[in-house]
Amino acid sequence: VSFYRGVWCPYCNIELAALQEAWQAIQATGAQLVSISPQSLANGRKAKLDKQIAFPMLSDAGGRVADAFGLRFRLPDDLIDLYRGFGVDLPLINEDRSWTLPMPGRFVVGQDGIIAYAEVSPDYTRRPDPADLLPVLKRLQGSIAA
């Protein structure tokens, strides 16, 4: 499960491209990949087509899933002003007036529902390499086969 801020974020686009590139290797371990963002369903669908993403991209309307993972935060007023200055209208993009975003995060959840890997950073410019997931996924694949 990969949480990202939205397709308007260049770092998120780099991450989506890296995940797309790693997707077949991830699938080869028997795992599934899904990305979640607060952007509206229509904006998520457009991003999926524009970025040619093959794995599911879900819309977290109202940020409830990000909130459950402890990732959701409200942007401070100075950042809201900065984003507006750059033309990033989160209430329009997300169809949510809250000016909240998820911290970028990536989780591997085993079939038993236990989180086997978690990577979260409040620094949205830092993202883990998708290759870091493969040893965890292979270990989980081996435990299922055993």
pLDDT at 64 over 90: yes
Q: Give the range of the structural domain holding residue 22, as residue numbers without chain letter.
A: 2-145
Rounded-to-integer distance, Cα 24 and Cα 3, Å: 19
CB 3 within 8 A of CB 69: yes
Between the two ends of the chain, the Cα-to-Cα distance in Å is: 24
Q: What is the reported pLDDT for 142? A: 80
> pLDDT digit string (tens) for 3-59?
999 989 999 999 999 999 999 999 999 999 999 999 999 999 999 999 999 999 999
Q: What is the reported pLDDT for 124? A: 92
CB 71 within 8 A of CB 37: no
* Rounded percentage of the chain residues whose pLDDT exceeds 90: 90
- Residue in 104, 98, 110, 97 with CA at minimum distance from that of residue 69: 104
CATH number for the domain including 103? Answer: 3.40.30.10
pLDDT at 146 over 60: no
**What average pLDDT does the structure give for the chain?**
94
- Residue in 135, 123, 89 with CA at minimum distance from that of residue 15: 123
**Domains: count for the chain:** 1
Rounded-to-integer distance, Cα 104 and Cα 73, Å: 11
Which H or E element spans position 48? Answer: helix 41-50
CB 40 within 8 A of CB 63: no
Q: What is the reported pLDDT for 145? A: 58
Q: What is the reported pLDDT for 76? A: 97
pLDDT at 128 over 70: yes
Q: What is the reported pLDDT for 143? A: 75
- Mean pLDDT within 110-119: 93
Specify the amino acid at residue 96.
Answer: D
Token couple for 76: 């401070």
